[in-house]
Structures are given as structure tokens and as C-alpha cells.
Chains A and B, each alone.
Chain A
Amino acid sequence: MLDVRNLEVRYGEFRAVHGVSFTVEDGELITIIGANGAGKTSILRTLMGFQPAYRGTITLNGKEITHLSAHERAKLGIGIAPEGRRLFGDMDVQENLEMGGYLIQDKSLLKQRLEAVYARFPVLKSRRNQRAKTLSGGEQQMLAIGRTLMGDPPLVLMDEVSLGLMPKYVQEVFRIIKELNEEGKTILLVEQNAKKALSIAHRGYVLETGRFRWEGEAQQLKDNPEVQRAYLGG
């Protein structure tokens, strides 16, 4: 589904990502793990089209999308739950979800999606008329994921969606990610919580200062002593 070749990301002269290559196959749940500042967000932002690729190519379903704008990529089926959630704080829950379904022309389909998201996240339904910025952290994260699901993108990019949540919510969020993948969504998950991410992912990449240090089956990475020492707390 997604094929990334020699992707390089720069901020001015500073190289945040040094030519990484990876693939995400249909139906896979892939994780990129790494410490603060490793370049995880930079990769996702470049995949979505927020940040230009300095070098390299991004191919989605055989079509090169390296130079498309974010809204063109959205039309081709990429959705993002970005770092920091990025909700529309002054809009209410329902309006945020409607924005998630912005590309849907058919009113009844929009309604159907809205109901599906409310069914998955009942708490959002009870807060439908509340402004997004007044939700709790966990609720905001549900809304950020729900907003992404509104557009039903085949490929979902998720950036540290468990960050800053209470343990109860962290559990819940990982359960939902796994569930979405089992329902057929292809997911690229960026995480600092390596243990949890590797426990649900099929394959993983370990990013260190802009380069992949290890890659492989999730189980393999979990069993790798070096990865364990550096990322899994022993």
C-alpha cells in the first residue's frame, strides 16, 4: 500500500530524517518506535504532506504522491491522528467529526459514519454538543481518532496517540488500534511506548536520530536484547 524510498526530511540545514526506506502492506499494522527527537513525527508529517520531502519518494498504491498537497492525499485515502491531537477546540464534538467527514458528499453516508463513530466511542455521543477543548485528555484522544475514522481512510497514520493519557485510557487506545486493524485498516503507528506498540504491531522499525537502526517482525524486535535494553526497559 505504502512504499517509502530514501526519504530525507530537513529543517533548513538540519537533517531530521536521513533517507529512510520502508513499506506498509495492505492490512498491516506497522510501528515506528524511537526516543524523543528521533524523527518519528517528521516522517509522519512528510507522509501526510505537511512537510516537504527533501529527497526520496512516497508511493501510495503504485501512485507517486511525494509532491501532492495534504488534501489531495486525504482524497487518496490517507488519514492522520496527529501529534498533539489538533482538534478544532472551539467547535463542538459533532462539528469536529463532521470536519473529519468533510469529503463525504452524501448526507446519509455522513450520518451513518457519525453513528458508527458514536457507537465505537459512546462517550463522544453524550458530549456531542460540548466544545472539543473542554473534553478530558482521554476524550480528546477518542475524538481525534473518531475524526480520522469519519473519512474512512484505508491508511491511518497515528502519532503517539497514547501520550499523556491515564493508564486506563492507554490500554483502551491500544485495544482500539488493534481492533481497527483487525477490521481491515492499514495502520502506521508512531510510538515512544515501544512495549505496547510492539505488542500489537505486525512489524516494526526502530528509529534513532533519523535512521532505522533495527527493523523486523514485532516479536523479533521484542526478543532482540539490544532493543530490549534501549527501549523495553531491560
Chain B
Amino acid sequence: MLGQQLINGFTIGSIYALIALGLTMVYGVLKILHIAHAGVYAMGAYIGLWVYRLVPNLFLAMLAAMFLSGVAGILIERFLYKSMLDKSRIVPLIASIGLFIAMEETFRIIAGPYVKAFSVHFRQKPWILGSARISAPQMLVFGVTIVLLVLLWWVITRTRMGKALRAVSMDREMADALGVATEKIILLSFFISSALAGAAGVLVGVFYNSVYPTMGDIPAYKALAIIVLGGMGSIPGTILGAFLIGISETFLIGYVNVPLPRDALAFIVMIAVLMFRPYGLLGKE
């Protein structure tokens, strides 16, 4: 039972991590809350489903969803946020909420208001580990998450562009003075963030066998709780926060029989952590 809860918790945590990472990276470079990120995530799910129906190859669907979501991220930065950066921070926040709603309505108009099935037939048998089992979709979630996290880690710690990205999120002006074309680096961070969200969208679509216009609603605010919990802008903090929330949620449902909506838990954990660590798990002032 404990093992199974942990496996389920890590599955949910993986998905939260992929979504929240993008939010934290965007916050890092632009210091804005990119609510429409959850719209990009839903868009990724729709693109994945659409490609999968054309060519039933999940790998291809995933790549297409990531690439097109990444491009959408670039367009959002370029045409929405860029002109608002010298305004009060409430301006891009409101624009972002507006875009999120508009995206959901667009999905509804194009694909209809109903839940679409994203059914993938897995031939892989579940792995049995003692009393726990890891299903094929869970393996998919873990596999994709591990690959993407390792890739992200490699990019930001080993490549010139990735180091520049970290430098921009620490001190944009100084990075600029050292010759970093910061606008390009910001576009890069939107591309990476949005591609991760697109991947998360496909994973969730497959895992729950459903894609629908408002699927971004809950992730939109939960990812906020996670990045606040992790320490705004901190990549390791966000990953830690995502797994903490994912695991807490599955344990809450599995063990504690309290009439508490599962989706409120993220905020309860967030508030509890902030009481002791006002800047989040790994955040700084």
C-alpha cells in the first residue's frame, strides 16, 4: 500500500514538475506570473491527440506537441508580454489571465466542449514490485519526465546558452552588459518552458485518457502554489515542491478520510511551509 501510494504520488508529482518548471523559469527571467502557461499545457494535449490520430506514434505526437507548444510560448512572449514589461506587473498578469480564457474558448470552439479520449494501447505489461505495480502509462510518465529533467539540467548547467539563461534570471542587466542578447535568451526560456508544458499535456491526456478545454484550470493554480512553495524562480525548489505536493495528495486520498478536496491540499502545504520558510523551500529573498 505504501509503495503503491509512493508510485502514484511520484506519477502525479512528475506531471506537476513538468508544468510548474516552466512557470518558475518564466518567473525567473521576466518576474511575471504566466497564467496562460496552463493554456499552453492544454494546447499540448490537443496537439498530441491530433497528431496521434493522424499517425499513431506516441513519440512523434510528443515531439510535435512539444515543438508547437514551444513555438506558442515564443509567440506569447513576443506579442503579448514584451510590450508590457515596463508597465506595472499587474498588466501582464491580467493579460495572461485573459489569454488563458481565450485559449480555453478556442479549444472549445475548435474541438468541442466534451472530453475527448486519448486512448493509447500499451503492450507493455505492468511491473510488479512486491505489492506495488507500475502500469505502462506510469512508466511512460516516469520515463518522459526523467529524460526531460536530465536534459533540462544538462542544458542549464553545461551549455553556454543555458548558463546565460540562468544568468539572465539572476540579473538580466548584468548579463546584458556581458554581451548576452537577453531578448533571445528570454525567448529560449519561453520555448523550453512551453515545450515542457506541452509534454505534460500529452502525458496527462494519455494517463487519464482524456483531453478537454478546461483541463488547464486546476494545474493553473496548483502550479502557482508549487512554485511559491519551492521558492519563486528556483528550479530545484520547484521540482521538490511538485513531488511534495504530488505525494501529499495521494497519501491524503489513500489514508486520511477527511472531507477535504484534494486540490486544496497544495495550498495547505504551501501555507504550512511558508510559515516556517517565508521564501519557500529553496527560495531566496
List chain A positions with a Cβ less than 8 A from chain B: 48-50, 69-71, 73-75, 79-80, 82, 86, 88-91, 95, 98-100, 102-103, 147, 151
Contacts and interface: CB of A to CB of B under 8 A. Distances in A.
Interface in B167-191: 167, 170-171, 173-182
A69 B176 contact: yes
A103 B167 CA distance: 14
B164 interface: yes
A102 B163 CA distance: 10
Contacts of A74: 176-179
Contact of A50 (B160, B177, B284): B177
Interface in B142-168: 160, 163-164, 166-167
Contacts of B173: 50, 70, 86
Contacts of A49: 176-177
Q: Which of A49, A82, A99, A103 is most buried by chain B, counting CB atoms within 10 A of its CB?
A: A99
Q: Which of A49, A70, A75, A95 is most buried by chain B, counting CB atoms within 10 A of its CB?
A: A70
Minimum-distance CB pairs A-B, first 9:
A74-B179, A103-B179, A70-B176, A86-B174, A88-B170, A70-B177, A102-B179, A102-B178, A71-B179
Q: Which of A50, A71, A90, A100 is most buried by chain B, counting CB atoms within 10 A of its CB?
A: A71
A231 to B, nearest CB: 29
24 contacts: A48-B177, A49-B176, A69-B176, A70-B176, A70-B177, A71-B178, A74-B176, A74-B178, A74-B179, A82-B174, A86-B174, A88-B171, A88-B174, A89-B284, A91-B167, A99-B175, A99-B178, A100-B178, A102-B178, A102-B179, A102-B180, A103-B178, A151-B178, A151-B179
Contacts, number: 63
Contact of A102 (B164, B166, B171): B164
Contact of B163 (A79, A80, A89, A95): A95
A41 B55 CA distance: 60
Interface in B95-115: none
B164 A99 contact: yes
B179 A75 contact: yes
Nearest to A74: B179
Given A71-B181, A88-B171, A99 B163 contact: yes
Nearest to B177: A70
Given A98-B163, A102-B164, A91 B178 contact: no
A105 B85 CA distance: 31
B171 A86 contact: yes
A88 B175 CA distance: 9
Contacts of A151: 178-179
Interface string B174-211: 11111111100000000000000000000000000000
A80 B177 contact: yes
A89 B170 CA distance: 8
Contacts of B177: 48-50, 70-71, 73-74, 79-80, 82
Contacts of B167: 88, 91, 99
A86 B160 CA distance: 20
A110 B162 CA distance: 17
Contacts of B163: 91, 95, 98-99
B169 to A, nearest CB: 9
A90 B178 contact: no
Given A70-B177, A89-B170, A99-B175, 5 more contacts: A50-B177, A69-B176, A75-B179, A86-B174, A90-B170
Q: Which of A49, A91, A102 is most buried by chain B, counting CB atoms within 10 A of its CB?
A: A102
A144 to B, nearest CB: 10
A230 B246 CA distance: 64
